[in-house]
Structure 1
């Protein structure tokens, strides 16, 4: 019998500066990525390979919230303060984030006859993905 696996969004938590974020939008609500590759490789004309280890440990976490998210006002204030903060995204099998992060900029927005999304981009300066 094949293994059956599932994902339950209720088992994911996002904690920013001791605030548990709620009010995510539909679809991809949390995304993360290390900003640079772990190494750069060069190959000579003779096929010799040289590898330079990249020591850039920054990453980016993007949250997509609903415009009605109860967390949005506090996050916008934190973004406006330009303060550094911890951020942790936790699932049953992964922990992503760091202790030193800042908002890249305040979220852009728009209004329509439907509930709109607000995208928040966060740069993590001591990014870890376990």
Structure 2
């Protein structure tokens, strides 16, 4: 069965504001900071899984240096505000991930050149959940 994918159906909402001005390529990345389980194999070959309580994760957004969202994100970082963030994918396999407690990890790097440069914004989420 043929399916279509439309990036315009993917939204990032940080502190109630829709983020815009993405660079090209892979521009939204979500990753857990730790594995959900740590396997342990005993001398007798028996396996035990230690469940991790770590629910933290990192969301990385790659924006154009001209993105209208960068001043907003820089202000969030400067204010040290804890804010909610959600990524909503309304394509065929609807997906939602995010959390209610996030902070921008550091000021994004800045580069200048003869082309529009990508700017990575890394956001730590203390209660990353997916649905």
TM-score normalised by the chain length of structure 1: 0.95
Over residues 20-43 of structure 1, what are the superposed CA-to-partner deviations in whole Å (9 max), with x where a residue is unaligned?
000000001101011111111111
Give 1:87's aligned residue. 85
* Misfit runs of 4+, over 3 Å: none
- The 3-state SS of whatever aligns with 1:14 is strand
1-side partners of 2:37 and 2:95: how far apart? 23
- The 3-state SS of whatever aligns with 1:13 is strand
1-side partners of 2:110 and 2:3: how far apart? 36
Over residues 27-71 of structure 1, what are the superposed CA-to-partner deviations in whole Å (9 max), with x where a residue is unaligned?
011010111111111111110112211010001100000011111
Deviation at 1:126, TM superposition (A): 0.6
2:12 equivalent to 1:14 = yes
Unaligned runs of 5+ in 2: none
Query: Within 5 A, what are the aligned runs for 1:24-43?
Result: 24-43=22-41
2-side partners of 1:24 and 1:85: how far apart? 20
2-side partners of 1:41 and 1:115: how far apart? 45
Give 1:115's aligned residue. 116
Give 2:61's aligned residue. 63
Q: For the aligned residues, what is the CA RMSD? A: 0.8
2-side partners of 1:112 and 1:67: how far apart? 11
Unaligned runs of 5+ in 1: none
2:107 equivalent to 1:99 = no
